Amino acid sequence: MHLYLGHNPRTLYLLTDTREQRLGNLHRALIFRAAEANASQVVVEFLPGDEANLTGTVRLTHRNVKGCLGLISVENGAYPYRRIAGVYTHHGFRHIPCGDHYGY
């Protein structure tokens, strides 16, 4: 899959690539952007690949991304790491308690 960056609003797009589609995988996009209403929450969309608007985006790495390990938030560019408070989608929202320190 490939990783793209879009602006206004700043958005990250994970998109399956043609090689994966040849292997039988689907053409899909997982899209992330920060929620406007709450700085610690993220809007995520899962869409057919051809519905992802990549106009004006740039590819962040030429290598094929293998997958996503998760989302974290960092306060003031410093530790500790925190789990993000939740993920909004157009399907609804489920609150996840936040404030736990991230401990590797």
Q: Which residues would be at the binding site for other proteins (CB under 8 A)?
A: 1, 3-5, 10-12, 14, 16, 20, 25-26, 28, 30, 32-34, 39-40, 42, 44, 46, 54-63, 65-79, 81, 83-84, 86-87, 89, 91-92, 94, 96, 100, 102-104
Q: Are 100 and 82 in contact (CB under 8 A)?
A: yes
Q: Which is nearer to other proteins, 22 or 104 (CB)?
A: 104
Which DSSP state fits 64? P
The two structure tokens encoding residue 29: 């996009």
Q: How many CB atoms lie within 10 A of CB 33?
A: 16
Q: Give me the least distance between CB of 14 and other proteins, in Å please.
A: 6
Q: Give me the least distance between CB of 22 and other proteins, in Å please.
A: 14
CA distance 23 to 33: 29
